[in-house]
Amino acid sequence: MENPLLPPPGQDFDLRTLLPEQVGRAVELSLDCARAGLEQIYRLPEGAHDFENTALALDELHDQLDRVAGVVYLAAYTHPEEAVRKAARKSVQLLNQFGNELGLDERLYKALKAFATSPQGQALEGPRRKFVDESVREFERNGLALPPEQREELKRLKDRLSELGLAFSSNISEYQDSLELDEAELEGLPQDYKDERRLPDGRYRVDISYPSYRPFMRYARSGDARERLYRKFLNRAADKNPEVLDEIIRLRGQLAQMLGYRSFAEYKLENKMAKTPEQVWKFERELAQKLAPKVRADYQELLEIKRQHLGDDSQHAILNWESAFYANLLEERKYQVDAEQVKEYFELDNCLEGIFAVSGRLFGLRFRELPEPPVWHPEVRLFEAWRDEQKVGSFYLDLFPREGKYNHAAMFSVVNGRQTARGYQQPLAALVCNFPKPSAEKPSLLPHGEVETLFHEFGHLLHGLLTRAELQAQSGTSVARDYVETPSQLFENWAWEYESLRLFAKHYRTGEVLPKALYDKMLAAKKVGSGLHAIQQVFYGTLDMSLHDGFAPGQGERVSDVVRRLQNELTPYPYVEGTCFEAGFGHLQGYAAGYYGYLWALVYSEDIFSVFRRQGVFDADLGAALRDKILAAGSSRPEIEQVRDFLGREPSPEAFLEGLGI
């Protein structure tokens, strides 16, 4: 039987009728091919290793594996059938285990090391030299300097961490909870929101998915209902994940110490832009200090609007479940920004067309939707990206929530670009989001914050589509993790420029372009709460570092103690007893000792955009420079060199701080 996960070169995956057994079989075959490729490298006699038969062969081996791993990982988090998701998650574990084996493969390490230290290897330059040096170093970071028995222990530890990480993420994505509320408790919510959640008995079910949770916290006038939903939201996966997280943190600490590092953070940061935990602590502490006056001012502004709303000057605190509600009131009263009015100008398909138009002006891209895509759900769409009459890549759009689906927004890489004997391999990716579904009465209308999310994830997508790196290991978003958010956060800026918004921000009924007066109010309100938002990011980053830079579960503080202490120290909102935020904080898995990277990368993205702001947001030469010097480069050059090359100077935090209103 032909396997839809193993199409011939140049053909698309056909995911319309994917069966659970086909997932496992595809992974088995890809692992067999990888092992056969390894044998070819092993059999090379001493002195015969060169770039093509050793380093390039290793990159190709990873590419073949990653093609299958990418689509299997996508299925694990988006496929509508639970049996397929389970089979995919099981297969992801097998792939992770093989990756751990590969990272501890002594014969492969010796072959690569032999080439790296040979005259031919020493003569390499540019991306090829960078790839070989980093590959050798990664083997050594994986424990190849350890005695054989310790290597075996390290492999078991990594396998266990892979299992735990998958369980942690799955527990969050599959966790379901909701409130049943009466009409009075939904006062303040838009009618279309209520219509989507009405039950046969006239009550309403509000779940904890983002399209339900965020509008409810922003508009619901019932403080009691907001508090109850807030507590449910902060207890996502609290039934399973606290124990999983404890074991993950403990084993990460063991892994780092086995490899000779003081902490897991020290181990993880060695090959990032930041390099050391000390640099990250310095970044977070200095930022918290600079933010303090803005945080106080933002908080007082919310407190004043609460006093006005309640007619009670004795109010002295904003509670956690009140911040979004009073931020919305503040925007409406002080800045006359009605978020419900604003979203009528951001119909989802118009926003997509706007992103396509912006990408066309900046990078010369045009997009074509396939009419009958071979996809896993009827709502999923498939697009091709073209430039200069050449197809450069493809991407799926999976835009709406459904049961069992990944519940955040993310770009999933499926196939990476790379140079092959047949020409350049075209990237394939998926944009997975959870936007409000269209109804019979209204299309999908996005709050402006969700428009930013769409632009953000499309920035990741462009990073993958526009890559021209020779090697798949250096392709697209395969960059230092504290840099990977730079292109995505940079692209958010085009969701705020009126010159850009005029292209697509049109009223869904009348077609009227977003009025400049309304835009000016949105822009004036943009910095409302920017200090509070930024300090929340500092809290997340500091929590992540605290758990990975010397913390030991079960010895002194518990994870919940660290959460409580840091929230009370850093944010103006006190810790809420009876909640378990850390259980649903998925980034503790994906960004271990790396969450600081969002703000770190934002410093670079704001600096880069400051050049566009001066020279023109659709300056074609700047767009070409961004494409060629940053997006196309992947990690074929050190990331800091890419930024310096584009800016023509050293990076500066000035634009970042100015954007926060500091």
pLDDT at 256: 96
Check: CB of residue 584 under 8 Å from CB of residue 172.
yes
Query: Each residue of 211-222: pLDDT tens digit?
Result: 899 999 999 999
Single out the residue of 405, 413, 452, 447 nearest to residue 431, CA to CA: 413
Q: Which residue has the higher pLDDT, 441 or 488?
A: 488
Position 556 pLDDT exceeds 90: no
Q: Which amino acid does the sequence have at 447?
A: P
Question: Across the chain, what does the average pLDDT equal?
Answer: 95
Position 662 pLDDT exceeds 80: yes
Please give the Cα distance from 63 to 25 (Å, whole number): 18
Contacts of 173 (CB under 8 A, 6+ apart): 77, 404, 405, 406, 407
pLDDT at 429: 98
- In angstroms, the Cα distances linking 371 to 350, 351, 464 are 18, 20, 23
Position 4 pLDDT exceeds 70: yes
Please give the Cα distance from 362 to 368 (Å, whole number): 17
Residue 6 phi/psi, 5° resolution? -130, 60
Provide the residue count of the chain.
662
Contacts of 192 (CB under 8 A, 6+ apart): 439, 441, 442
- Strand-pairing partners, residue 198, are 204
Check: CB of residue 59 under 8 Å from CB of residue 115.
no
Query: Each residue of 487-543: pLDDT tens digit?
Result: 999 999 999 999 999 999 999 999 999 999 999 999 988 888 999 999 999 999 999
Mean pLDDT of all residues in 175-180:
96
pLDDT band per the 50, 70, 90 thresholds, residue 1: low
- Strand-pairing partners, residue 387, are 390
Q: How many DSSP H helices and E strands does the chain contain?
A: 27, 9
Please give the Cα distance from 382 to 453 (Å, whole number): 19
Please give the Cα distance from 253 to 273 (Å, whole number): 21
Q: How many CB atoms lie within 10 A of CB 378?
A: 9
Q: Would you call 457 a catalytic residue per the annotation?
A: yes
Q: Are strands 381-387 and 418-420 parallel, antiparallel or unpaired?
A: unpaired
Q: In a 3-state reduction of DSSP, which class is residue 414?
A: strand
Position 334 pLDDT exceeds 90: no
pLDDT band per the 50, 70, 90 thresholds, residue 460: very high
Mean pLDDT of all residues in 319-345:
93
Please give the Cα distance from 563 to 548 (Å, whole number): 13
Please give the Cα distance from 650 to 603 (Å, whole number): 12
pLDDT band per the 50, 70, 90 thresholds, residue 260: very high
pLDDT at 661: 81
Please give the Cα distance from 324 to 466 (Å, whole number): 37
* Domain ranges for the chain: 20-103+105-141, 176-233
Single out the residue of 555, 533, 543, 638 nearest to residue 593, CA to CA: 543
Check: CB of residue 344 under 8 Å from CB of residue 507.
yes
Position 269 pLDDT exceeds 90: yes
What's the longest Cα–Cα distance across the chain? 84
Please give the Cα distance from 149 to 132 (Å, whole number): 27
Please give the Cα distance from 289 to 284 (Å, whole number): 9
Please give the Cα distance from 202 to 193 (Å, whole number): 14
Q: How far is CA 69 from the centre of its chain?
A: 18
Q: Which amino acid does the sequence have at 213?
A: Y
pLDDT at 211: 86
Query: Each residue of 231-246: pLDDT tens digit?
Result: 999 999 999 999 999 9
Mean pLDDT of all residues in 59-81:
96
Please give the Cα distance from 595 to 291 (Å, whole number): 18
Q: Which residue has the higher pLDDT, 335 or 83?
A: 83
Check: CB of residue 334 under 8 Å from CB of residue 527.
no
Check: CB of residue 436 under 8 Å from CB of residue 339.
no
Selected catalytic residue, list 347, 457, 470, 582: 457
Q: Which amino acid does the sequence have at 235?
A: N
Please give the Cα distance from 268 to 592 (Å, whole number): 8
Exposed/middle/buried for residue 196 (C-beta within 10 Å: 0-12, 13-18, 19+): middle
Position 145 pLDDT exceeds 90: no
Position 339 pLDDT exceeds 80: yes
Query: Each residue of 182-203: pLDDT tens digit?
Result: 999 999 999 989 999 999 999 9
**Which residue reads 């904890």 in tokens?**
208
Q: Which amino acid does the sequence have at 115?
A: F
Q: How far is CA 280 from the centre of its chain?
A: 20
Q: Provide the H-helix boundaries in 175-319.
A: 191-197, 210-219, 223-233, 241-258, 264-269, 277-310
Position 348 pLDDT exceeds 60: yes
Mean pLDDT of all residues in 40-61:
96
Mean pLDDT of all residues in 156-174:
93
Q: Residues of the chain with pLDDT > 70: what percent? A: 100
Check: CB of residue 257 under 8 Å from CB of residue 157.
no
Check: CB of residue 429 under 8 Å from CB of residue 465.
yes
- Strand-pairing partners, residue 368, are 384
Please give the Cα distance from 352 to 464 (Å, whole number): 18
Q: How far is CA 558 from the centre of its chain?
A: 27
Topology of domain 20-103+105-141 in CATH is Glutathione S-transferase Yfyf (Class Pi); Chain A, domain 2 (1.20.1050)
pLDDT at 44: 96
Exposed/middle/buried for residue 293 (C-beta within 10 Å: 0-12, 13-18, 19+): exposed
Please give the Cα distance from 568 to 320 (Å, whole number): 12
Position 331 pLDDT exceeds 70: yes
Residue 425 phi/psi, 5° resolution? -70, 125
